[in-house]
């Protein structure tokens, strides 16, 4: 069931949540919480995304709030810690917020930083978590092919599970995989933006541009569509978040729980990066994982007092409501 625009606007609460550390260039996360007959949903496309992109995120929110999510095939999923592009001396305090010791994703290639900064950060994560931890790095497409080869050759001795979106384009990813193999650098390549922001999310598989795919509920238009994409790609998948509140993370858990195969820990622990949330008991991992029971409970536990406490200022609320109106006009094409 697709609600009409007045129903969506009536169901919407716009919030601004402070971050503990700068992440993806932001220090506060804005989100729209929507209360539908199937439960709470979240709509929070990043501000730089156009209305067509935002409509896919809205389709995902409509599925969660007004539709039915696929049934889970597992009751719990493993979760990685996420380390922003902080100085190495801050790594320990970031990791201390996670009840996770098995897997960590480390942001690299931050604008204004150097490969030496990345090396120091990844080295410190390895020191803190120990030799048995799985470390993955995420460049968000910021490296050129040559820079990616140099960087991964430098970081590979620290033991990398994979490199997420080291280059921006599918062509570069495919060429990088060949270059890594020729150089004897054993680092698998994961595609994120080349899947979630692509008109053709299956292209990375057809062109052998990735060893695995990173999927996120909102950018792909919902849980059901994300499951279809993973199945059609035929590649191992990692489920990740888009810096969501606990409501959005809960739906991400449901995606991870619905995939037939899930061999990697998922990037669903980012509530630890928020200094505030919309539920009193944020959906942070316990003993390295999240359960579907906790996720479903989080979607029922949105606190009206927290929505009020973190309500966006009138100017930002108007901006989001106008954006919602524009995105709604694109829904029929999703």
Give the Cα separation of 160 and 163 in Å (integer): 7
Catalytic residue among 29, 126, 177, 216: 216
Are residues 334 and 67 in contact, defined by beta-carbon separation less than 8 angstroms?
no
Specify the residue for token string 């692509």.
198
Give the Cα separation of 246 and 300 in Å (integer): 11
Give the Cα separation of 71 and 81 in Å (integer): 26
Annotated binding site: 138, 164, 192
Give the Cα separation of 16 and 72 in Å (integer): 31
Give the Cα separation of 292 and 227 in Å (integer): 17
Annotated binding site for Mg(2+): 138, 164, 192
Specify the residue for token string 């505030």.
276
Helix or strand (DSSP H, E) at 191: strand 189-191
Catalytic residue among 29, 56, 107, 196: 107
Give the Cα separation of 43 and 65 in Å (integer): 10
Give Cβ neighbours of residue 167 (< 8 Å, ≥ 6 apart): 139, 141, 143, 144, 145, 148, 173, 176
- Pairing status of strand 103-107 against strand 289-291: unpaired
- Residue environment code for 30-51, b if the CB has 16+ CB neighbours within 10 A, otherwise e: bbbbbbbebbbbbbbbbeebeb
Give the Cα separation of 67 and 71 in Å (integer): 13
Partnered with residue 105 across adjacent β-strands are: 82, 136
Give the Cα separation of 225 and 66 in Å (integer): 16
CB atoms within 10 A of CB 1: 10
105 a catalytic residue: no
**Strand, coil or helix: what is 139?**
coil
Residues tagged active-site = 107, 216
């Amino acid at each position: 069931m697709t609600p009409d625009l007045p129903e969506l606007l009536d169901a919407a609460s716009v919030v601004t949540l402070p971050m503990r550390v700068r992440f993806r260039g932001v220090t506060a996360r804005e989100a729209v919480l929507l209360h539908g007959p199937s439960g709470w949903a979240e709509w929070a496309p990043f501000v730089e995304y156009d209305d067509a992109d935002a409509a896919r995120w809205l389709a995902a929110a409509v599925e969660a709030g007004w539709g039915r999510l696929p049934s889970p095939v597992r009751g719990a999923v493993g979760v990685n810690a996420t380390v922003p592009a902080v100085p190495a001396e801050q790594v320990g305090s970031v990791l201390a917020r996670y009840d996770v010791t098995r897997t960590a994703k480390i942001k690299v290639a931050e604008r204004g930083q150097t490969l030496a900064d990345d090396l120091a950060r990844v080295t410190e994560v390895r020191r803190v978590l120990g030799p048995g931890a799985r470390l993955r790095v995420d460049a968000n497409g910021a490296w050129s092919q040559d820079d990616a080869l140099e960087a991964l050759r430098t970081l590979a001795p620290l033991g990398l599970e994979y490199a997420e979106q080291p280059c921006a384009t599918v062509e570069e990813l495919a060429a990088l995989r060949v270059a890594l193999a020729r150089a004897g650098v054993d680092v698998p390549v994961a595609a994120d933006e080349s899947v979630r922001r692509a008109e053709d999310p299956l292209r990375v598989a057809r062109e052998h541009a990735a060893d695995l795919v990173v999927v996120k509920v909102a950018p792909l238009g919902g849980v059901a569509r994300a499951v279809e994409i993973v199945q059609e790609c035929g590649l191992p998948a990692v489920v990740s978040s888009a810096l969501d509140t606990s409501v959005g993370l809960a739906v991400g858990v449901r995606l991870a729980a619905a995939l037939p195969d899930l061999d990697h820990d998922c990037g669903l622990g980012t509530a630890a990066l928020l200094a505030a949330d919309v539920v009193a008991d944020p959906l942070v991992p316990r003993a390295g994982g999240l359960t579907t029971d906790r996720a479903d409970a989080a979607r029922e536990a949105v606190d009206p007092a927290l929505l009020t406490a973190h309500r966006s200022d009138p100017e930002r609320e108007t901006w989001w409501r106008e954006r919602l109106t524009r995105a709604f006009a694109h829904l029929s094409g999703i």
